């Protein structure tokens, strides 16, 4: 059992909120966890406005905000509740310090889904048995888990239960048998999902079987950020925010974008720092 998870504050100096024992149990059991209502109305307003400009009027943003996680949306990257979860399920503590996160940003995309958009496309599951080069892995010991490639979905608009939130076959990250079609069709009772207010987060291991599904809520579109994190020495998705975007962030947040390596030396011989020459691709 790790006694102390670092860092204890996020880049804005806010105290990290550790996972509760119930959250740990549910995440390990199901492979996903809903964390409702994490943003204030003011934060939501500025993040939503930034996302819409990023999608539809990118040139109107200053260069250092032209990224899914630029400008007002950078607070989502290391929200104190998100860091509390990632400290527990993903961090490699030898590479963490009070100045550096023990995990890295992997890749992201913003999705604006209108009524009827998207389709059912189940993928993943059984990844307890994958080797680590795959990143879609799940490992556990008594009292500790490692979730591998981990998705943090920020739901920026209302999600109504059963009307378009991501679908999960809970527990399938540990499934030993292949998934039969007859029990995993769209209407199978094995699929679980969620409803939540705007500003909520859904964390899931990419080791679980999950799927998109058509958005069926008339009152609003689905506006979500699908951000993935990985352990420090692994990267699955290609790409990294532009140097100007990262340069505008506080130093601790910048460590999310360091290169994908560990090292065992002193100073810059161990990967606990970000600089432009140590930026992931």
Ligand X SMILES: O=C(O)CCC(=O)C(=O)O
State the minimum distance, in angstroms, from the CB of residue 111 to ligand X.
6
Q: Where are the alpha helices (DSSP H) in the chain?
A: 21-30, 41-56, 80-89, 243-247, 251-254
272 binds ligand X (CB under 6 A): no
Kind and range of the H or E run holding 1: none
State the minimum distance, in angstroms, from the CB of residue 213 to ligand X.
7
30 versus 210: smaller Cβ distance to ligand X:
210
6 versus 223: smaller Cβ distance to ligand X:
223
163 binds ligand X (CB under 6 A): no
Helices 80-89 and 21-30, packing angle to 10 deg: 60
Question: Looking at 70-219, which runs of residues are DSSP E strands?
Answer: 103-107, 110-113, 139-141, 144-146, 150-155, 167-169, 191-192, 200-205, 210-211
216 versus 244: smaller Cβ distance to ligand X:
216
Do the strands 210-211 and 167-169 form a parallel or antiparallel pair, or are they unpaired? antiparallel
166 binds ligand X (CB under 6 A): yes
CB neighbour list of residue 63: distance below 8 Å, 6 or more residues apart: 242, 244, 245
Both structure tokens of 153: 């979905």
151 versus 163: smaller Cβ distance to ligand X:
151
CB neighbour list of residue 133: distance below 8 Å, 6 or more residues apart: none
State the minimum distance, in angstroms, from the CB of residue 27 to ligand X.
17
State the minimum distance, in angstroms, from the CB of residue 236 to ligand X.
11
Closest Cα to residue 205, out of 237, 240, 171? Answer: 171
Go through 215-226 and write b for each residue having 16 or more CB atoms within 10 A of its CB, e for each that does not: bebeeebbbbbb
Q: Which of residues 86-105 bind ligand X (CB under 6 A)?
A: none
210 binds ligand X (CB under 6 A): yes
Q: Which residue is nearest to ligand X (CB)?
A: 212
151 binds ligand X (CB under 6 A): yes
71 versus 212: smaller Cβ distance to ligand X:
212
217 binds ligand X (CB under 6 A): no
Q: Judged by CB under 6 A, which of 70, 125, 148, 212 binds ligand X?
A: 212
226 binds ligand X (CB under 6 A): yes
CA 60 – CA 71 distance, rounded (Å) = 13
96 versus 152: smaller Cβ distance to ligand X:
152
122 binds ligand X (CB under 6 A): no
Catalog residues that contact ligand X under the rule CB under 6 A. Answer: 118, 151, 166, 210, 212, 226
């Amino acid at each position: 059992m790790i006694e102390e998870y670092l860092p204890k504050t996020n880049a804005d100096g806010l105290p990290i909120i550790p996972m509760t024992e119930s959250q740990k149990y549910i995440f390990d059991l199901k492979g996903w966890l809903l964390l409702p209502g994490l943003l204030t109305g003011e934060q939501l307003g500025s993040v939503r406005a930034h996302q819409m400009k990023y999608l539809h009027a990118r040139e109107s943003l200053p260069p250092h905000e032209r990224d899914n996680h630029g400008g007002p949306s950078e607070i989502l990257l290391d929200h104190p509740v998100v860091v509390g979860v990632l400290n527990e399920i993903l961090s490699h503590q030898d590479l963490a310090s009070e100045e550096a996160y023990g995990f890295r940003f992997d890749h992201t995309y913003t999705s604006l889904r209108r009524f009827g958009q998207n389709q059912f496309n189940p993928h993943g599951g059984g990844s307890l048995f994958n080797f680590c080069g795959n990143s879609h892995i799940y490992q556990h010991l008594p009292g500790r888990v490692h979730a591998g490639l981990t998705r943090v979905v920020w739901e920026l608009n209302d999600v109504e239960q059963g009307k378009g939130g991501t679908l999960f076959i809970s527990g399938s990250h540990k499934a030993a048998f292949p998934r039969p079609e007859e029990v995993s069709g769209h209407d199978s009772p094995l699929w679980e999902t969620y409803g939540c207010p705007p500003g909520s987060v859904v964390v899931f291991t990419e080791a679980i079987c999950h799927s998109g599904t058509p958005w069926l809520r008339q009152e609003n579109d689905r506006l979500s950020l699908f951000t993935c994190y990985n352990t420090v020495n692994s990267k699955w998705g290609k790409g990294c925010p532009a140097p100007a975007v990262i340069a505008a962030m506080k130093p601790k947040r910048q460590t999310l974008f360091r290169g994908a390596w560990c090292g065992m030396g002193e100073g810059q011989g161990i990967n606990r720092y970000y600089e432009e020459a140590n930026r992931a691709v």
